[in-house]
C-alpha cells in the first residue's frame, strides 16, 4: 500500500473537516469538524510511523489526543457559557465585535 494513499486519505478527511468548519454555523458542529481534522492528522501520523517503523509518531498521536481532550473540555465549557447567555450556538450571532 503506497504511503501516498494514506496521504491522500488523510488530506481528504482534513479537507472535509475544513469544509465543514466553513459550511456550518453551529459552533458544536464546527468543533466536531475540527476534531475530524485532528483525526485525519493522527491517521497520517500513524501511517508515517508505520513507514519509518518509529514509535515516536504514535506517542505523538497519543499526545495529540491528550491535547484534543483538553481542548474539548475548554471548548464545550465556552460553548455552554455562550449558550447560557444567548441560548444559541449559532456563530453568526457572534458579531458584536467587528470592524
Partner 1 sequence: MNLYEVLFWLLTVVAIGSALGVILSRNPVSSVLFLIVTFFAVSGHYVLMNAQFLAIVNIIVYAGAIMVLFLFVIMLMNLNADAEPQKNRLVQLAGVLSGGILFLVVLAALKTSSNNLLEQTATDIGLIKNLGMTLFTKFVLPFEISSVLFLSAMIGAVVLGKKGEPQK
Partner 2 sequence: MIDLVWLVPFFPLLGFLINGIGWKKLPKSAGGFIGSAAVLASFAVSLGIFFEVKSSGTATVVHLFDFIQSGNLNIPFAFQVDALSSLFLLIITGVGFLIHVYSTSYMHDDEGMVKYFAYLNLFVFSMLLLVLGASYLIMFIGWEGVGLCSYLLIGFWFKRKDFTNAAKKAFVMNRIGDLGFLVGMLLVLLNFGTLSYQEFFGQVEGGQAVVTSSTYNWIAICFFIGAMGKSAQIPLYTWLPDAMAGPTPVSALIHAATMVTAGIYMIARSSVLYNIAENAQHLVAVIGLATAIIAATIAIKQYDIKKVLAYSTVSQLGFMFLALGVGAYTTAVFHVMTHAFFKALLFLGSGSVIHAMHGEQDIRNMGGLSKKMPITSTTFLIGCLAIAGIPGFSGFFSKDEILAATYGHNSVMYYLALGAAMMTAFYMFRLYFLTFTGSFRGTEDQKSHLHESPAAITIPLAVLAILSIIGGYVGMPAVFGDFHPLNEYLAPVVSNHGVHHLEHNTEWMLMGLSTVLVIVMIVVAYRVTKKANFAANTGIAKILENKWYVDELYDAIIVRPLGALSSLLDKIVEKLGIDGLVNGVGKTVHWASNRIRLMQSGQVGFYIFIMVLGITALFAIGFFWIH
Partner 3 sequence: MKAIIAATILGIVMMFAGLFVKEKKSVVTIATLLLLVLFGVNIYDISFAENAPQSLFNNLLRVDSYALWFNMMMTGCTFLYVLLLGKHIRQVGNHVAEYFALIFFILCGIYLISTYNNLLMLFIGIEIMSIPQYILAGSDKQNMKSNEASLKYFLMGAFTTGILLMGITLLYGATGTFYITNFTFLQTASLNPLALAGILFILVAFAFKISAAPMHLWTPDVYDGSPAPFTAFMATVVKAGAFVGFLRLFHISFGTLGEHWMLVVAIITAATLLVGNITAVYQQSVKRMLAYSSIAQAGFMLFAVVSVNATAWQGMIIYAIAYSVATIGMFSVLVKMKDYTYDGFNGLAKKQPALAFFTTIFLLSLAGIPLTGGFMAKYFVLTAAVEQGNLMWLVIFALLMAAVSVYYYFRVIMAMYFKTGDAELRAEVTSTDRLLMGITCVIIILLGVVPHLFMGNL
Site of interaction with partner 2 (CB under 8 A) = 18, 21-22, 25, 30, 91-92, 94-99
95 binds partner 1 (CB under 8 A): no
Backbone angles phi, psi at 90, to 5 degrees: -75, 120
97 binds partner 3 (CB under 8 A): yes
**Nearest-angstrom CA–CA distance, 53 and 95:** 48
- CA-CA-CA-CA torsion for 13, 15, 20, 23, nearest 10 degrees? -160
Q: What is the size of the binding site for partner 3 (CB under 8 A)?
A: 41
List all residues 6 or more positions away from 38 whose beta carbon is below 8 Å from its beta carbon. Answer: 64, 68
Residues 31-50 that bind partner 3 (CB under 8 A): 31, 34, 37-38, 40-41, 44-45, 48
CB 89 within 8 A of CB 82: yes
Which residues bind to partner 3, rule: CB under 8 A?
Answer: 3, 7, 14, 17, 21, 27, 30-31, 34, 37-38, 40-41, 44-45, 48, 51-52, 54, 56-57, 59-60, 63-64, 67, 70-71, 74-75, 78-79, 81-82, 85-86, 91, 94, 96-98
Amino acid at each position: 500500500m503506497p504511503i501516498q494513499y494514506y496521504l491522500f486519505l488523510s488530506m481528504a478527511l482534513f479537507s472535509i473537516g475544513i469544509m465543514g468548519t466553513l459550511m456550518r454555523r453551529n459552533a458544536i458542529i464546527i468543533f466536531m469538524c475540527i476534531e475530524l481534522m485532528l483525526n485525519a492528522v493522527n491517521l497520517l501520523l500513524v501511517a508515517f510511523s508505520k513507514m519509518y517503523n518509529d514509535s515516536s509518531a504514535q506517542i505523538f498521536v497519543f499526545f495529540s489526543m491528550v491535547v484534543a481532550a483538553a481542548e474539548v473540555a475548554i471548548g464545550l465549557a465556552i460553548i455552554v457559557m455562550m449558550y447560557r447567555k444567548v441560548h444559541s450556538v449559532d456563530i453568526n450571532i457572534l458579531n458584536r465585535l467587528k470592524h
